[in-house]
Amino acid sequence: MADVLITENFLLETPSGVRLYHEYARDLPIVDYHCHLPPRDMAEDRRFANLTQIWLAGDHYKWRAMRANGVAERYITGDASDEEKFWAWAETVPKTLRNPLYHWTHMELKRPLGISDRLLGPDTARGIWTECNARLAQPEFSCRGILRQMRVVLVCTTDDPTDSLQAHRAIAADSSFGVRVLPTFRPDRALAVESVEGFNAWVDRLERAADMEVRHYDALVEAIARRHEYFHRMGCRLSDHALETMPAEDYTLADVRAAFARLRRGVGIGPAEAARFKAALLYEFALMDHQKGWTQQFHIGALRNTNTRGWRSLGPDAGFDSIADGPVARPLARFLDRLDRQERLARTILYNLNPADNAMMAAMIGNFQDGSIPGKIQWGSAWWFLDQKDGIEQHLNTLSNLGLLSRFVGMLTDSRSFLSYTRHEYFRRILCNLLGRDMDAGLLPRDFELVGGMVRDICYHNAVRYFGFENLLANVA
């Protein structure tokens, strides 16, 4: 039967856009250099019992929409059955028109689940539930099977420095998989000093992971450096940091050592002292990344856990985060400049959550390009609340106006779901549509090798070169 929404030329409005997508972008492999997929699921090649487990569990985008639609929490994260939760989602989907969830939902149903002849809603839910569950029982719909279907060739997960990386080790030892799975070093817990109890529990885990005592600040840095080295040996080439604002305060080592000593005694520190502590430790992380030749990523501007009742009930990452509006430009410039003055600024990707910061970010990256490599400082792909059609187009247009779109390292899923790889297709269609419109309007030359070559670079090759993955992916067709 005919596709009802996600057609062959979905989002492609001009002949040139159609040609760019189908001839230059569609069949490229995927390098997903930032995601939150569970490594254990890939190591064990998990199979999902039903559509709710693979599609709704952990997806706070969908949870927010369901709450907004008046769905009780029992049918979102509570004790309702998986089938009941799916029905609640199916009843919500028709109410998401013009929300990106409507597009993503039907793209995911089409690829890889093979359903494109009907829209999801109460009238079609039963058939879609039954058909998808039958497919999920097949080997090609295991975690690994889905990655292969979607032409994913490399995945970078997000991992705490105390993680053993046993799942990554198991995957690396299994030559049958064929997808590279690398860890990413994310030391956010080292900066989470607002909870003294939580911070000390994390430092205790760090002691065990690094096999050393951490009684003072210098030992903390050494222990983290040991884990950084271990991650490097395990193939890690990226770090990531989630920050509401960029800590760039002046500090002395005496200040920071005293703050850590108080924390280890179980005594809290004030906001100013915490900011200095974070600035010092983040600077140490940046030095480690530069020394190892890594890429550092900074996700800036999320206001997290704003709903106390929801956070206490469900914990973090449950749909209670939003966009912050604190100062970004000056502290970010201070942080980058301090590293650059010492010629110790690593490859850097900056992500903003507040769209008001778009032009600032696009301009900021130009301040610290030093000619050592193309696009050394990147403005990262439209993130979280911004990774929809309007947000992606705004990102691409602003980057084009203030930087070099041709050197952009492209899309990532930032997702916890194995069904999210159509996000790369979504991005590629939007990119090709944007460039195709310009070609047909006479704003770009009608040179398909020139423009199509840029499409290929943005969608795949730039990331491979930027992160130094050429040898890992040398055999990828």
Hey, is 295 helix, strand or coil? strand
Quick one: 391 and 354 in the same domain? yes
d(CA 419, CA 432): 22
Could you list the beta-strand ranges (E) of 337-446: 347-352, 377-379
CA distance 349 to 87: 39
Question: Based on the structure, what is the number of domains in the chain?
Answer: 2
Do both 92 and 170 map to the same domain?
A: no
- The string of DSSP letters for 302-336 reads EE----HHHHHHH-SSSS--EE-----HHHHHHHH
Look at residue 250 and tell me if it is in a domain.
yes
Are the CB atoms for 413 and 424 separated by under 8 Å? yes
Cis bond before residue 38 (omega within 30° of 0): no
The model's pLDDT over 376-424, given as tens digits with 9 standing for 90+, comes to 999 999 999 999 999 999 999 999 999 999 999 999 999 999 999 999 9
Residue 38 lies in a domain: no
User: For helices 358-367 and 389-402, what crossing angle results, to 10°?
Assistant: 40
Verify that 211 and 152 share a domain, yes or no.
yes
| Section 293-322 average pLDDT | 96
pTM: 0.97
Domain boundary among 112, 141, 170: 141
Quick one: how far is CA 426 from the chain centroid? Answer: 15
Cβ neighbours around 188 below 10 Å, total: 15
**Count of Cβ atoms closer than 10 Å to residue 239 Cβ:** 23
Same domain, 116 and 173: no
User: Of 242, 234, 240, 174, which Cα lies nearest the Cα of 209?
Assistant: 234
Instruction: Kindly tell me the number of DSSP H helices and DSSP E strands found in the chain.
Output: 20, 9
- Measured in degrees and rounded to the nearest 5, phi and psi for residue 238 equal -135, 145
216 and 174 co-located in one domain: yes
Instruction: Report the pLDDT value the prediction gives residue 453, as an integer from 0 to 100.
Output: 99
Same domain, 183 and 306: yes
Please count the other Cβ atoms lying within 10 Å of the Cβ belonging to residue 377: 21
pLDDT score at 477: 65
**Which CATH number characterizes residue 233's domain?**
3.20.20.140
Of 182, 297, 287, nearest to 242 (Cα)? 297
The verdict on residue 29 lying in a domain is no
Last residue of a domain, one of 86, 119, 141: 141
Decide if 111 is inside a domain: yes
Q: Which residue range(s) make up the domain with 63?
A: 47-141
**DSSP per-residue string spanning 240-275:** EEEESS-------HHHHHHHHHHHHTT----HHHHH
Phi then psi for residue 242, to 5 deg, are -100, 120
Q: Look at residue 1 in the predicted model and tell me its pLDDT.
A: 56
Residue type, 52: T
Tokens of 410: 């492209």
Residues 234 and 256 in one domain: yes
**Domain check: are 92 and 163 in the same one?**
no
For residue 19, being part of any structural domain is answered with no
- pLDDT of amino acid 184: 99
DSSP code per residue over 422-475: HHHHHHHHHHHHHHHHHHHTTSS-S-HHHHHHHHHIIIIIHHHHHTT-TTTTTT
**pLDDT (tens digit per residue) in 257-300:** 999 999 999 999 999 999 999 999 999 999 999 999 999 999 99
- Residue 242, domain member (yes or no): yes
DSSP string covering 138-200, please? Answer: SGGGSHHHHHHHTTEEEEE--B-TT---HHHHHHHT-TTS--EEE--B--GGGG-TTSHHHHH
Does a structural domain hold residue 473?
no
The domain boundary, picked from 82, 117, 141, lies at 141
| 266 plus 315 within the same structural domain | yes
Task: Based on the fold, state whether residues 155 and 123 are members of the same structural domain.
Answer: no
pLDDT digits (tens, 9 = 90+) for 430-441: 999 999 999 999
What would the pLDDT profile of 113-159 be if each residue is shown by its tens digit?
A: 999 999 999 999 999 999 999 999 999 999 999 999 999 999 999 99
Query: Within a domain: residue 177?
Result: yes
Task: Give the domain CATH number at 59.
Answer: 1.10.2020.10
pLDDT of residue 306: 95
Are 166 and 72 members of one domain? no
225 and 115 co-located in one domain? no
- How confident is residue 31, by pLDDT bands cut at 50, 70 and 90? very high
Residue 336 predicted with pLDDT over 90: yes
What pLDDT is stored for residue 3 in this prediction? 78
Rounded CA-CA distance 162/421 in Å is 28
From residue 75, alpha-carbon distances to 62, 84, 318, 416 in Å are 12, 7, 14, 20
327, 275 contact by CB (below 8 A): no
